[in-house]
Amino acid sequence: MTMDRVIRYQGAILRGDHLLLIKHHEHDSGREYWILPGGGREPDESEEDCVKREMLEETGLNVLVEKLILEDTDLPLGIYKQYKTYLCRVIDGEAMPGYEPEADAAQSYAISEVRWFDLKDSNRLEAALRKEPFTFPLVQRIRSYLGYRIESSAANSDRVI
């Protein structure tokens, strides 16, 4: 079964003030990076069903897909031409590194870790993600959408909503 590689459907999974990211480990280079879970849509699959499936495969979580919050084009990952980010909430399950069911992707990388990042703590977010050229700006945009201030703050109360 071929996947739709034109659009990447990804989930911003929230638990309180925390956002879940997964770490990819590239087998050949050893490179590691944080990213939102997500992937391509299967034939005859709705966008919401795609997001639910990808979240379960890659994180072990069943999620409620609330709404589309961001749409991007021309991002530097090279595989997809467009990215759609959906706001998701955990229904059940325990977050854990999942798997990549597509053989070509599984040969290239594995999901080595999952971590909940505190959206209130902009200093720690920046320290953990500032080297991520795709993910850090995306997380900042998610924070902004959710009403968190983007500038660094020593206080842990930078939510404006």
pLDDT in tens for each of the 161 residues of the chain?
Answer: 445 568 999 999 999 999 999 999 988 898 899 999 999 999 999 999 999 999 999 999 999 999 999 998 866 656 778 999 999 999 999 999 998 777 667 678 889 999 999 999 999 999 999 999 889 999 999 999 999 976 544 344 444 43
Does some domain include residue 150? no
Burial (Cβ within 10 Å: 0-12, 13-18, ≥19) of residue 23: middle
47 contacts 69 by C-beta, under 8 angstroms: no
Report how far residue 64's alpha carbon sits from residue 67's, in angstroms, rounded to the nearest whole number. 9
Does some domain include residue 15? yes
Does some domain include residue 87? yes
How many domains does the structure of the chain reveal?
1
Does some domain include residue 23? yes
Buried b or exposed e, range 111-131, using 16+ CB within 10 angstroms: beebeebebbbbeebeebbee
Does some domain include residue 66? yes
- Give the number of other Cβ atoms within 10 Å of residue 72's Cβ: 17
HSE at residue 53, side-chain half, CA atoms within 13 A, is: 15
CATH value at residue 29: 3.90.79.10
Cβ neighbours of residue 143 closer than 8 Å, sequence gap 6 or more: 119, 122, 125, 150
Does some domain include residue 55? yes
Which residue range forms the structural domain that includes residue 63?
4-102+110-120
Does some domain include residue 58? yes
Q: Read off the pTM.
A: 0.85
Buried b or exposed e, range 98-110, using 16+ CB within 10 angstroms: bebebeebeeebb
Does some domain include residue 126? no
